[in-house]
A and B are shown apart, each in its own frame.
Chain A
Amino acid sequence: MDWQTLSALAADGLAVGSLYALTAFGLTLVYGLLRVLHVAHAGVYAAGAYAGWLAFRGGGGLGWALLAGAGCAVALGLVLEWWFYRPLQGRSPLVALIGSIGLFVAVGDLLRILFGPYQHSLPVLPPRTVVGPVSLPQVVVVAATAGLFLVVYGIATRTPLGVGWRAIAQDAEMAAAVGVPLPRYTQLAFALASALAGVAGVLVGVYYNQVYPTMGAVPAYKALAVVVLGGLGSPWGTVAAGLLLGVVESVAVAYLGNRFPPEGVAFLAMMLVLLFRPQGLLTAEPQG
């Protein structure tokens, strides 16, 4: 394997992995707080992608597309939190899970009805290379992801919000008892998770130059795999797992080609982890 191929694979793997990490991070964050798998998160992601596309169609550039994507995603995410998840707090998580799947399916299909089943292109960035085989979209994706996670890291470690989130994830009752404002912090978590998903959606649209109604499907499943690999409830584990999966998939596609579907990598890894190390590859203690 020569230097060219290696760096091409690494660049693609990191870019794709960054996208996985952005999408899955929100899922883990919400799970930590609500103990519910927010499957509809993938719908938020797809809606964000379409919002970004609409902005581009309206004449905007990458910046506007990202803003529109994040904004739309946050709005949708907050509505879901307020209308669906909050009232279902006390009930069996199965109820929220099934409903969430329904919402995901509905959002995806709604996008198809509104915008047609065909893909739309999002050529906001010229696909030229920047250095070696690394392309501009790849650089943008990785840079944007790194920047966003830097911000998130700051929030998580230096603000009362971050502390509050950790407390709620550990023991919601205790956290409420010591004065952590659960409803507001949950809303903020949804807002952040959705914003990241919306940005991810737009970036995916830019990277692959396509938005289409079922684009939420594969990331939904992949995000689940990433979350399991990284440890359900460990946001940074999720980020690491996302990057790892992206790289592994790139290598797998390069070597296995048509003999094995790339999706299979994610699922195989997920099943193995669920069987032998359900707390995830990167966390120390078994969860709950």
Chain B
Amino acid sequence: MYAVTVFTQLCIYAILTLSLNLITGLAGQVSLGHAAFFGIGAYVVGVLTTHGIPFAPAWLVGGVLAAGFGLLLGSISLRLREDFLAIATIAFNFVVVAAFLYLPYFGGAYGISGIPKPLGNAGFPLLVLATTLGVVWFHERVRASDLGLAWMSLRESEVAAEAVGVDVRRFKVTAFVLGTGLAGLAGGLYAAYIGVIRPEDFGFPLSVTLLAMVAVGGMGTLWGPLAGAFVLGGFAQAFAFVHNYQLVLYGLLLALVMRYRPQGLLGKLG
């Protein structure tokens, strides 16, 4: 039972890291606010299903709404340089969490509890697994596609990408929309699985953790984000003592990897 819980959590991390990888690893757009979209998907499911709406439509609405906010952030990103973009995504994360904390219907600091889990304790993990596999498939499909190549080209040199016909602005927005939408779906799964959600679950520390997982694992690849999710996520789950030292270890790991092997542990040798 415990193994199933851990595994489900890791699958959700995997969906999150792969979705962040689309934005930051492939398209090269820094996002330090990814947790916000996770939260949007979670809260949509939380609010709707506790008011009688079945899981499936609520889940989809969560994904679409998250993607909608991703569209907003993506449009904002067009006006900003790299470092400004990082700051803007951090600010976005804070604003979203503040909204969860202060707007009505979101339960304030107590969040939302009693979120129903569809398909039961046996069936729901299978849904999570299926979604994860679907996201992996989609991730690989995109990475091998013209869209993925367009993203990588604009990551390497926007000016050269324009010169080979890539509409840099449009594709940046596409990256945000797809990545955040998937994060929203992950959020919906998380809310239903765990049953209780609070604003601080979706704050900046989680965004940092997600970026760490992607960066340490190796940005832009498939196994990098997956390794990041399973290894870093697994550590925290599996070892209680690690949980106590989690932040200092993760922080140091992040700093060390960036300092000595910026392409990540599984990134290709450069």
Contact = CB atoms under 8 A, between A and B. Distances in A.
Interface of A: 31, 35-37, 83-84, 87-88, 91-110, 113, 221, 224-225, 228, 232, 259-261, 263-264, 267-268, 270-271, 274-275, 278, 288
Nearest to A227: B87
Contacts of B18: none
A98 B228 CA distance: 15
Nearest to A228: B87
Q: 9 closest pairs, A vs B, by CB?
A: A102-B254, A106-B251, A99-B258, A105-B251, A109-B247, A109-B248, A102-B255, A95-B262, A102-B251
A38 to B, nearest CB: 11
Given A103-B251, A105-B250, A261-B101, A88 B83 contact: no
A225 B91 contact: yes
Contacts of B82: 93-94
A232 B102 contact: no
26 contacts: A31-B83, A36-B83, A37-B83, A83-B259, A87-B259, A94-B28, A94-B82, A95-B258, A99-B254, A101-B208, A101-B251, A102-B251, A102-B258, A103-B254, A105-B248, A106-B250, A106-B252, A106-B255, A109-B245, A221-B204, A225-B91, A259-B102, A267-B94, A271-B91, A274-B84, A274-B91
Interface residues of B, number: 41
A77 B107 CA distance: 42
A102 B91 contact: no
Could you tell me the dominant secondary structure of chain A's interface residues? helix
A225 to B, nearest CB: 7
A106 B102 CA distance: 30
Contact of B211 (A98, A104, A109, A225): A98
Nearest to A35: B83
Given A102-B252, A102-B255, A94 B30 contact: yes
Interface in B56-97: 76, 79-84, 86-88, 90-92, 94-95
Given A95-B258, A95-B262, A106 B248 contact: yes
A259 B98 CA distance: 11
Contacts of B250: 102, 105-106
Contacts of A97: 30, 83, 86
Given A102-B212, A263-B94, A275 B87 contact: no
B231 interface: no
